Amino acid sequence: MKTKAKIKWTLDVLMTIALLFLMGYQFWGQAAYEWIGAGMFVLFIAHQVCNLNWYKNLFRGRYTPMRILQYMINILTIVAMLALMYSGITMSRHVFAFLPIQGGMALARRLHILGSYWGYVLMSLHWGMVLNAAVKGNMRQHKFQAVGFIISLFIAAYGVYVFIKRNFLTYMFLRSEFVFLDYEEPKLKFIGDYLALMGLCIFIAHYGAGLVKKTGSGRKEDGQ
């Protein structure tokens, strides 16, 4: 694997770990949490720099349904991240407290909830697309394909349960302005649940991509 590809994978893995930490706001204490948030900010910028090609090719080539879908997920992921950074910095009580930001707390709190829960789903779908591109074609001939499908189906089903139990729709549509944070919950249970939800999104991205391609016009374009 080339150095640039290695850096990209390292960034993706670090961002996924940081994301899991940040979704568990209640576990780490405010100062540590904000430092992880600031780290995510740096990783996000590095990720954009490493993927400048994506921006360069944005208006080149044919727009197929598959490509449009990928663009939408990528652009919405970037919007969610920017909303999280802006609102996080506005609400910061430690790392960015020195900045002369006054007011805007009510909007920031709402943006942070929207950004967190939409962001988690979008970043997981985005992860699914990245993995899809990485394993392109190889899975089809794999002799453990059926076993892999059954395991991923179970993970995805548990992910649906997590999505419902953890009230994602409530927060994604801002039906509540306060997030229920369970300080007593074991960290491993939280991380396991969130990983299953990420698994569900990867499952949707993988099999969804297959469906879009089968509809005909999304054939050549997904190997960006």
Question: What's the number of CA atoms in the CB half-sphere (13 Å) around residue 99?
Answer: 13
> Could you say whether residue 83 binds ligand HEM (CB under 6 A)?
no
> Could you say whether residue 77 binds ligand HEM (CB under 6 A)?
no
Contacts of 50 (CB under 8 A, 6+ apart): 4, 7, 8, 11
Q: Tell me the closest approach of the beta carbon of residue 131 to ligand HEM, in angstroms.
A: 20
Helix-helix angle 30-50:3-23, to 10 degrees: 150
Shortest-Cβ-distance residue relative to ligand HEM: 88
Secondary element (H or E) of residue 25: none
> Could you say whether residue 218 binds ligand HEM (CB under 6 A)?
no
CA distances from 145 to 10, 127, 142, 207, 213 (A): 27, 20, 5, 13, 19
> Could you say whether residue 201 binds ligand HEM (CB under 6 A)?
no
Give the one residue of 38, 50, 79, 131 binding ligand HEM; rule: CB under 6 A: 38
Structure tokens given for 97: 């407290």
Q: Which residue carries 């590809």 as its tokens?
A: 5
> Could you say whether residue 89 binds ligand HEM (CB under 6 A)?
yes
Secondary element (H or E) of residue 221: none
> Could you say whether residue 114 binds ligand HEM (CB under 6 A)?
no
- Residue closest to 206 by CA, chosen among 144, 100, 124, 142: 124
Give the one residue of 96, 149, 158, 207 binding ligand HEM; rule: CB under 6 A: 96
Contacts of 191 (CB under 8 A, 6+ apart): 20, 24
Q: What angle do CA 220, 79, 5 make, to 5 degrees?
A: 50
Q: Give the count of residues interacting with ligand HEM (CB under 6 A).
A: 24
> Could you say whether residue 111 binds ligand HEM (CB under 6 A)?
no
Structure tokens given for 86: 């802006």
Determine the Cα–Cα distance for residues 17 and 179; give it in Å rounded to an integer: 21
Find the part of the chain contacting ligand HEM (CB under 6 A) among 1-9, 108-116, 127-135, 204-212. Answer: 108-116
Give the one residue of 64, 77, 92, 124 binding ligand HEM; rule: CB under 6 A: 92
Find the part of the chain contacting ligand HEM (CB under 6 A) among 84-92, 137-145, 154-162, 189-197. Answer: 84-92
Nearer to ligand HEM, 144 or 184 (CB): 184
> Could you say whether residue 40 binds ligand HEM (CB under 6 A)?
yes
Nearer to ligand HEM, 47 or 112 (CB): 112
- Name the residues that contact ligand HEM, by CB under 6 A: 19, 22-23, 25, 34, 37-38, 40-41, 84-85, 88-89, 91-93, 95-96, 109, 112-113, 116, 119, 179
